[in-house]
């Protein structure tokens, strides 16, 4: 077995780059190459691996490191295999080339989040090399379709018989990079709420000044949305202790309607993306939307899609998993900041099952390039992340039975 640190670093970086070179990009992803790569890597590290398909052609890869007390609740290390689309012409390096320039590895998925999946496995490789044996079983899950909501990925995986048999006690999942020295830890997420407003109106010739047109109603609604948005911007700017996850974001994302320049449309639609913080009253927000529609014009109605998030993970002394996580990062001398995640991750499906989940990406002093062009991760940061996960995995995997 390889024990030289330099050799292990080379192996880890090469595996990371190979994983990045698999274009598991939306839409119409073929997950086969990812599955084959992960199976090979599991076999190389001598870890049992299973592949299930809760939904056809949407595989979940589960790689396990068996603990000495397998009846204890296990630790889940989750990551997703898919990445968002790219516009290659806007990248200065090929988005699936995983080229290294000035110590930086450029590729789609470098930060979001193929780095973490490989870091999990390479951390376990090194712990095994050091003959470490943990009490609890560690499961690494690689799931599909997180980037499009996880409806046929993690959402279905947690309902499966296989998932129940894993006996998960707590989970780690993705977080966000930090632009300074603080590592960010996410213990909850905002509620995602998508609303499409349908604004019917008086049709007619574009040369007339008819009343109750669709555009007037849409304008009235837009004004209310933008006023609310400006209020949240002022709130965020006025309090340095607040982060984007602590306020409500409302953004108009789609406008549709009309057929011809000189014809007033009989309907216009407007879609709004809302992210509701855990401190907001969901019912009150629903009433606000109803009021906006009623005040903006007759006949306006909404089509809504709401993804309510479960109760945030407890980050008090009452949660032994959190306390062990906190003790580990303190022992490493890491500065952390706890936050509510501004977007959505697969952690919400775990929290819905009552499983404590923490979002954590060991990336500091990096620009946040998730879904952006020229996404990269410094090779040194990637390797440091492996060391951090070695500590976290060994610590979380050795929580005693009486600490549950």
| Paired strand residues for 81 | none
Instruction: Give the span between the Cα atoms of 174 and 192, in whole angstroms.
Output: 18
> Which two three-digit tokens encode residue 60?
């979940």
Residue 168 belongs to what H/E stretch? Answer: strand 168-173
Neighbours of 100 (CB within 10 A): 16
Binning the chain into helix, strand and coil, the percentages to the nearest 5 are 35, 25, 40
Instruction: Give the span between the Cα atoms of 400 and 215, in whole angstroms.
Output: 63
Instruction: Give the span between the Cα atoms of 76 and 172, in whole angstroms.
Output: 6
Closest by alpha carbon to 76, among 182, 162, 176? Answer: 162
Q: Residues 188, 190, 192, 193: is their CA dihedral positive or negative?
A: positive
Helix (H/G/I), strand (E/B), else coil: 272: strand
Contacts of 384 (CB under 8 A, 6+ apart): 362
Cα atoms found within 13 Å of the Cα of residue 198, Cβ hemisphere only: 7
Catalytic annotation, residues: 82, 146
- CA 105, distance to chain mean position in Å, is 21
Instruction: Give the span between the Cα atoms of 229 and 250, in whole angstroms.
Output: 6
Instruction: Give the span between the Cα atoms of 356 and 350, in whole angstroms.
Output: 7
Instruction: Give the span between the Cα atoms of 105 and 15, in whole angstroms.
Output: 12
Strand bridging mode 138-143 / 74-80: parallel
Q: Residues 226, 227, 230, 235: is their CA dihedral positive or negative?
A: negative
> Cis before residue 49, ω within 30 degrees of 0?
no
What is the distance between the terminal CA atoms of the chain, rounded to a whole angstrom?
Answer: 35
């Amino acid at each position: 077995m390889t024990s030289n640190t330099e050799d292990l670093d080379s192996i880890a970086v090469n595996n990371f780059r190979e994983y990045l070179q698999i274009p598991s990009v939306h839409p119409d992803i073929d997950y086969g190459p990812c599955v084959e790569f992960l199976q090979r890597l599991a076999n190389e590290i001598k870890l049992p691996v299973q592949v299930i398909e809760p939904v056809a052609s949407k595989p979940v890869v589960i790689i396990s490191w068996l603990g000495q007390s397998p009846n204890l609740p296990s630790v889940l290390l989750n990551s997703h295999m898919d990445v968002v689309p790219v516009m290659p012409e806007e990248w200065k390096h090929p988005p699936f080339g995983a080229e290294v320039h000035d110590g930086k590895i450029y590729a789609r998925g470098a930060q979001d989040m193929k780095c973490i999946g490989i870091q999990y496995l390479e951390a376990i490789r090194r712990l095994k090399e050091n003959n470490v044996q943990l009490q609890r079983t560690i499961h690494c899950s690689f799931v599909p379709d997180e980037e499009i909501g996880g409806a046929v990925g993690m959402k279905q995986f947690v309902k499966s018989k296989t998932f129940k048999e894993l006996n998960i006690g707590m989970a780690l999942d993705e977080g966000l990079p930090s632009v300074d020295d603080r590592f960010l830890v996410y213990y909850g997420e905002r509620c995602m709420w998508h609303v499409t407003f349908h604004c019917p109106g008086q049709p007619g010739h574009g040369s007339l000044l008819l009343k109750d047109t669709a555009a007037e109603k849409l304008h009235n609604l837009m004004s209310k949305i933008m006023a609310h948005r400006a209020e949240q911007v002022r709130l965020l700017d006025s309090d340095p202790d607040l982060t984007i996850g602590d306020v409500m974001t409302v953004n108009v994302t789609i406008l549709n309607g009309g057929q011809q320049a000189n014809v007033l449309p009989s309907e216009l639609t407007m879609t709004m993306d809302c992210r509701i913080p855990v401190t907001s009253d969901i019912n009150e927000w629903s009433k606000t939307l109803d009021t906006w529609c009623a005040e903006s014009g007759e006949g306006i109605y909404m089509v809504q899609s709401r993804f309510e998030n479960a109760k945030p993970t407890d980050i008090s002394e009452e949660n032994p998993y959190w306390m062990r996580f906190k003790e580990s990062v303190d022992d490493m001398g890491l500065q952390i900041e706890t936050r509510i995640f501004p977007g959505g991750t697969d952690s919400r499906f775990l929290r819905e099952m009552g499983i404590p989940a923490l979002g954590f990406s060991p990336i500091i002093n990096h620009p946040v390039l998730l879904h952006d062009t020229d996404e990269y991760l410094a090779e040194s940061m990637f390797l440091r992340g492996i060391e951090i996960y070695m500590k976290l995995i060994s610590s979380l995997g050795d929580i005693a039975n009486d600490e549950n």
